[in-house]
């Protein structure tokens, strides 16, 4: 697959592929999130030192690509009129969907604090 782009900030790599059989273009995006997960683990393990005396707490760090993947998953069973167009759209169901992901064991490495959000 030909290289399409490399994001200099995140290191995300995009490739382009054209499927001649289905006559469809496909763009894939991959990104190594190990650094983010390592920083989250450090923050979680040191949260007793970083939380003292704070009113506002950093509870998670979620890579942008994962937020977009969650939004696609959230939108999949919905009609076109009900779908979100941005991860910042105000929608109570979307917020519950995100909180459920952050509180699940599957995504525990995204948390930076020992709390339930």
Confidence grade of residue 13 (pLDDT, cut at 50, 70, 90): very high
List pLDDT tens digits, range 19-37: 999 999 999 889 888 989 9
Confirm if 63 and 44 have CB atoms less than 8 A apart.
no
Residues in the chain: 117
pLDDT of residue 52: 65
Query: And the tokens for 67?
Result: 């937020």
- In this prediction the pTM is 0.77
Q: What are phi and psi of 13, to 5 degrees?
A: -115, 130
pLDDT of residue 115: 84
- Tell me the average pLDDT across 76-85: 95
CA distances to 22, 69, 70, 102 from 76, rounded to whole Å, are 22, 11, 10, 20
């Amino acid at each position: 697959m030909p290289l399409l782009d490399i994001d200099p900030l995140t290191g995300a790599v995009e490739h382009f592929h054209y499927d001649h059989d289905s006559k469809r273009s496909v763009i894939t995006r991959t990104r190594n999130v190990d650094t983010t997960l390592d920083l989250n683990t450090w923050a979680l393990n040191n949260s007793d030192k970083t939380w003292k005396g704070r009113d506002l707490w950093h509870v998670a760090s979620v890579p942008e690509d994962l937020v977009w993947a969650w939004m696609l998953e959230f939108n999949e069973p919905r009609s076109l009129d009900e779908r979100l167009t941005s991860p910042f759209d105000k929608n109570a169901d979307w917020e519950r969907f995100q909180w459920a992901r952050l509180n699940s064991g599957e995504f525990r490495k995204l948390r930076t604090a020992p709390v339930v959000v």
